[in-house]
Structure 1
């Protein structure tokens, strides 16, 4: 069976060190504007990383399916299917993070322009 490596979750975590949006909500002033810009930047960064991870997972799943077509050994098929399931679960988690980040981007821009 061919070894297919996937990204290390710790290294490519879509949430990374990003702070929650609410941490940057502050009273009016120049610091608040800078914090709003930081909140927008971090929300966009989280959105971008999670979208990248989703694309990477989709590509990896596609590669596994291509290799699965030529596999006849039932044990190898089970291993490939297990990999597909694990990557699909991680992709679903990244989709949830992306959806939350999309909402954070909207809130950050609304707060910035209010």
Structure 2
């Protein structure tokens, strides 16, 4: 991963307006500016990607997902390796992964609880 040296830009603030420094490196934004800047970065990047593919969506929909991703003062991916696997809701898991996999797991777990 390429690191971002924000300090270098701050040292050159005579040449740059440091109020508008931005990076799409979520980890660097988190470590430098904190969780709110990370939230804004993720929303902006997801919104830009969806617009590039012609998906016109309301930015408030993305903000709900991003709030879940950063709720623990960090960030976690929204995939099978992130926090979604720790959710107790079967429907919450199906929203972001292959539904049939979680339906089968849910049925097996339910059958185990019954018998």
Task: Give me the TM-score of the superposition, normalised by structure 2.
Answer: 0.29
**Larger RCO of the pair (alpha carbons < 8 Å, separation 6+):** 1
More helix by share: 1
